[in-house]
Structure 1
Amino acid sequence: MAKQTVKTQPEDFLEIFGQRVRALSASQDLLVMGEWKAVPLGELIRSQLAHFGDEHDSRITIDGPMVKITASASQSLGMALHELATNAAKFGALSNASGRVVIKWSLQSDVTGQELFAMSWIESGGPPVAKPARRGFGSTVIDGMLKMSLGCDALVDFASTGLVWRIGCPAAAGLIESDIPPAPRMNGTAAGQEPAPVSGRRILVVEDEPLIAMDFSQTLSEAGYVVIGPANSVARALALLAQFGCDAAMLDVNLGAETSEAIARELIRLGKPFVATSGYSREQMPGIMQTAPLLGKPVSSEMLIAEVERCLGKL
């Protein structure tokens, strides 16, 4: 988060980074109180809007059924809500005395009986809205990170009457807390969609932490590689590998309740090299991964590229 902030907003780094850390901390506080299991969505929204004080009642409407979202979803969604609130306070409906924000969410079933989650943030009464000239970290968070971490389709409309943000996805896709195991999330490269052909080699990125996945992907793309993924589960990684293949891979050792062992076995079978990334020691890795190059988190951009090049035999 620090790297992305200083890259896009170096002049206000300390202030903006501090705000983002406090927003992340607010989500963490709710998770701690819930024993790291689930967070009521309404409480998560209010935690990210708490600094507006009394404006909660007079200018911000929060409306939706009682639902609890998973621990991983609360972090990504909390960051998105923080960025929306910050933008509204600086440039949008909460930057004047008359603007309003309406936040709604719902659960509905489609024709197949699958439960769908939808959420919207709609601003009105603020100053005229224009699409920003550059895409910063905040823009990436409110659409790209949610797509990456939850598989949510995000729509951001800079309508003249006020910003409109909507997301939608299956409720069981790791978003709503449930006793039913979540289906594999179709994040990153869409199924059936071939990555853009470029001269660089293809690197499969497997990482379940959205900020780290985004950072790895951006670093590799800027170095000329084609990123396959990122994938945040074993099932998704194996599906991408079967469909697109790769020249090498970066494997986060631990993916929530599972490890990347099955992915490593498939890469070895295919004769494809991989680099392991982890916050744990080599001795804690699955046996089949212990001979692979290991990058301890946090990983600098220089170390990441150097190890990938070494892995590919370029050095």
Structure 2
Amino acid sequence: MFLFRGDFGCLLYTGDFRWETTSDRAKLARTTLLNALNDGGVDILYLDNTYCNPSYDFPPREFAAQQVINIIVSHPDNDIIIGIDSLGKEDLLLHIARVLKIKIWVWPERLQTMHLLGYDEIFTTKTSLTRVRAVPRYSFSVETLEGLNTMRPTIGIMPSGLPWVVKPSEGNDNLFGSLLTSRYNKSRCAESGWLQTDKSNGSLGSIERFHKYIYSVSYSDHSSYSEIEKFIKLVQPGNMKGIVSSSTCYVDPVYYFGRLCGVNQPVQNLRQKHKRKERDEMSLANKSSFSRSISTELARKLVRNMKVKFVRTQASRVSACRRIRCGAKILEDDYSD
């Protein structure tokens, strides 16, 4: 996090963060933040609002990481594929490597990143040294896992705050693709029988399995909805803005948490603001359409007028030529007597 103070006031920028309260590391972070604020208020909070929606509530990372360990241990004869981004989830991979005392395969570019972070002995690009591989998220799919299983038994694990759901095609029970969806869609999958539950992990509860080769684990480096709420209650900012605007699940944090800070903008006002914006956009679109129709009609009239003038000019020229050439021209001959 970054804290700025000056004539502009006090600004707190969270960046990507998890506000967990269960570990010693989280307690240290809380103490450090409160000491930095020094009983002073935050004028504007720039918040990681990736999961600023009640649909996204998931357990702490320690819990989710243990679920990943349990999945790997329960499949001793399988290769393991873990879908990750080009940056992030390092703590999860380190936890797996240290608990299971293994190396983890990563692709060459990711290995360079790990070396820059100081993890030289844990990661490798040699597949013969480990059965656990971390692959780019974009290559993690049902088709990939089905192809790998034609060569060796393989399972995939998708660690994400967004549940990884597989849906069947219409009129066919065969699973053909995958998508990220909200809890609402996930519940519909359960009702439809697409969602399976693996209760082999005992006291840790159930692990969601959306395909015979795919497990979904709610592990994220972004705060869940309940964690965001706790953080805002602690900081009590005068105003706040979300730093993630391109997310498909984007919600202005003021919409849900404006009541927890000094923002004089209740939910109803925010909704009215969005409605006014939509009306203005529609009005502008209608005006543009009307202007285009007027411009088009004017252009058509100009073209018609030009055609009429051109035809009249052509007609006048033809008439003149006809008048000149009309009748017989009499030539006078000179006769000598």
What range is the shorter-chain TM-score in? under 0.3
**TM-score normalized by structure 2?**
0.24
- Structure with max Cα Rg: 2
More strand by share: 1
Q: Which has the higher contact order (CA 8 A, sep 6+)?
A: 2
**TM-score normalized by structure 1?**
0.26
